[in-house]
Copies of this chain bind each other. A is one copy, B any other.
Amino acid sequence: MSGEEAPTQQQQPEQEKTPDEPPPSADAAPAEAPQGDSGSGAAAEEKPLTCRALVLIGHGGYDKVKLQVKTQSKPQPKAGEVLVRVKACGLNFAELLGRQGLYELLPAPPVTMGMEGSGVIEAVGEDVKDRKVGDRVIVLSRSGMWQELVVVPTNRTFVMPDEMSFEEGAALPVNYMTAYMMLFELANLRPGKSVLIHMAAGGVGIAATQLCQTVQDVTVFGTASASKHETIAQGGVAHPIDYRTKDYVEEIRKISPKGVDIVLDPLGGSDTQKGFSLLKPMGMLIVFGAANCVTGQKKNLLAMAKTWYNQLSLNTMKLMQANKAVCGFHLGYVTDEQLFSRTMMKLLELYSQGKIKPHIDSRYHFEEVTEAMKRMHERQNIGKVILLPEPKKEEEKPKSNAEAGENAEINEAAVSEKKEEVTEEVKAEKD
C-alpha cells in the first residue's frame, strides 16, 4: 500500500510572507525578522531570502501538512541563540498525532512541526561563546524544525562528531533520548535483566535495543511484523515476535515463564494491561505513547475511546501487592535542561565508541512528506524516517533503501517552479 501513489501526491510549495504568531519558548523559531521588541522594520533592510517550511494548516489527514516557501530577511539570533541551516529532520509518531490534533504540546495551526534536526550554524547571538558559524549541530526542539532555517537557544544544540552524518544527527535526539531516559533514568537497567520492546523496528525500538546491548546479559524480546525480524535480530533482539500472527504474551511466557523485568510500551490500551501482567515482581512498565489511538489517516474517535477505555488504571494497593512499578514517559514534558544535555553527551559518547548508530529507514524531501508520514503510519519503516529540506533534484536517485526504484521517475523541477501565495488561505483555516 505504501508509496504507490507517491508521484501524484508530491506537494507543491506554497509561499507565505508573514507568519502571524511567535513560537512558544523552546520551539525552533521560524528564521525570519527578529522578533519581539525589535519589530519588523529593521529586518526589511536586509537582503530577503527564501525558506522552505512544512506547515500544518489544520488538523486532519495527510493534506494538512503543506510545503510553503517563505520570503524573508535574514534572521538575527538574539543573545543565547543561534541560527541553523537545517540539513535533515526526523519524523516522529508525535507528528502523526499532531496532525490529527492529538498532540497537545503542539501550538495551534498554522504551525511548523518537527522536534529534531541537524544542520550548520549560520549565525550566532551576541554572547554565544561555545558555538561558532560553521559548527555542525544536532538540534532538539519542541516544534518548528521542519524548515530550512531556524533560530534556537544554544543549549538546545549539540555539536556533532565529525564522523556523524546529518541524517544520523537528525535521527538521534528524540528516539535515543527517549530510549535512554526510559532505560537508565526511570528504569534501572542492569546486567541480567530482560526487556520487552514493542515496535522493535521503529525508531525508539531500534534505539532501545542498541542501548540494551550496552549492558551485559540483557535479553530483549521485541514485537514487529515478521518481515522485520531479520533486521531487529541483527540489532540485538534475542526473541523477535510477530504480534500480527501470534499472542506475544503466550510467546514470552513460553520462553520466560516468570515474564520480563521491563516493558517499553508505546501502544497504550489493552497492550498496557498485557505488559503489566507480563512484569516480573520488581519489574517496571513504562508507557510512552498511545499508538493504538492512531488507526486511520484522521482522528478516530472509536480507536481513541477503545484505547482510553482499555488503558491500565491502577490504585496503589494493587501495585503494592504486585511489587510493580508503572511509569509514564514523554520527552515533550521533560523540562530539565541539564538532563537533556547530560543524556545527549552520553549518547554522543556511545556513538563515538561505536555502541549506537541510528538506523536510517528512508529519506524524503519536504515535497514528499505525505509519503514519509504514510510510511510511518503504516508501520513500513525499519528505523528512522528522515525529511530533507533541500528541494528534490530532477536527476535524483531513489531516496529510500526500502523503496528502491519506486520514486525514481519523479520530476521535481515542475513542482518546485510553481509557488502559490497561500497566506490568506492559511489564515482562514485558523479561524
Binding site for B on A (CB under 8 A): 181, 184-188, 268, 272, 280-282, 284, 287-290, 308, 311-330, 333-336, 339
Identify which of B316, B333, B336 contacts A328 (C-beta below 8 A): B316
Give the secondary structure class of A's interface.
mixed
Q: Is the CB of A319 within 8 A of B287?
A: yes
Q: Is the CB of A333 within 8 A of B327?
A: no
Q: Is the CB of B281 within 8 A of A325?
A: no
Contacts of A268 in B (CB 8 A): 316-317
Identify which of B311, B322, B336 contacts A282 (C-beta below 8 A): B336
Known: A287-B320, A314-B314, A317-B328. 18 other contacts (CB 8 A): A185-B282, A186-B325, A188-B188, A284-B325, A284-B327, A287-B319, A289-B320, A308-B317, A311-B315, A311-B316, A312-B315, A313-B315, A314-B315, A319-B328, A320-B328, A320-B329, A320-B333, A323-B333
Nearest-CB residue, chain B, relative to A273: B316
> In the complex, how many angstroms separate the beta carbon of A316 from the nearest chain B beta carbon?
4
Q: Is the CB of A316 within 8 A of B312?
A: yes
When chains A and B are docked, how far (Å) is the Cα of A325 from the Cα of B287? 10
* Contact A313 B314, CB 8 Å, known A186-B282, A282-B336: yes
Q: Is the CB of A323 within 8 A of B314?
A: no
When chains A and B are docked, how far (Å) is the Cα of A328 from the Cα of B318? 8
* Contact A330 B325, CB 8 Å, known A311-B315, A317-B311: no
Task: List 5 contacting pairs A-B, 8 Å CB cutoff, sorted by A.
Answer: A316-B328, A321-B328, A321-B333, A324-B327, A326-B326
> In the complex, how many angstroms separate the beta carbon of A102 from the nearest chain B beta carbon?
11
Identify which of B181, B184, B320, B327 contacts A330 (C-beta below 8 A): B320
Contacts of A287 in B (CB 8 A): 316, 319-320
When chains A and B are docked, how far (Å) is the Cα of A324 from the Cα of B329? 7
> In the complex, how many angstroms separate the beta carbon of A150 from the nearest chain B beta carbon?
25
Nearest-CB residue, chain B, relative to A185: B282
When chains A and B are docked, how far (Å) is the Cα of A165 from the Cα of B145? 64
* Contact A334 B284, CB 8 Å, known A186-B325, A319-B327, A320-B329: no
> In the complex, how many angstroms separate the beta carbon of A335 from the nearest chain B beta carbon?
6
Identify which of B318, B333, B336 contacts A322 (C-beta below 8 A): B333
Query: Which of A268, A288, A327: most chain B Cβ within 10 A?
Result: A327
Contacts of A313 in B (CB 8 A): 313-315
When chains A and B are docked, how far (Å) is the Cα of A290 from the Cα of B315? 12
> In the complex, how many angstroms separate the beta carbon of A182 from the nearest chain B beta carbon?
10
Q: Is the CB of A335 within 8 A of B284?
A: no
> In the complex, how many angstroms separate the beta carbon of A276 from the nearest chain B beta carbon?
9
Query: Which of A287, A329, A335, A339: most chain B Cβ within 10 A?
Result: A329
Q: Is the CB of B329 within 8 A of A327?
A: no
Q: Is the CB of B329 within 8 A of A323?
A: yes
> In the complex, how many angstroms separate the beta carbon of A288 from the nearest chain B beta carbon?
7
Contacts of A290 in B (CB 8 A): 317, 320
When chains A and B are docked, how far (Å) is the Cα of A53 from the Cα of B314? 40
> In the complex, how many angstroms separate the beta carbon of A216 from the nearest chain B beta carbon?
16
Contacts of A328 in B (CB 8 A): 316-325
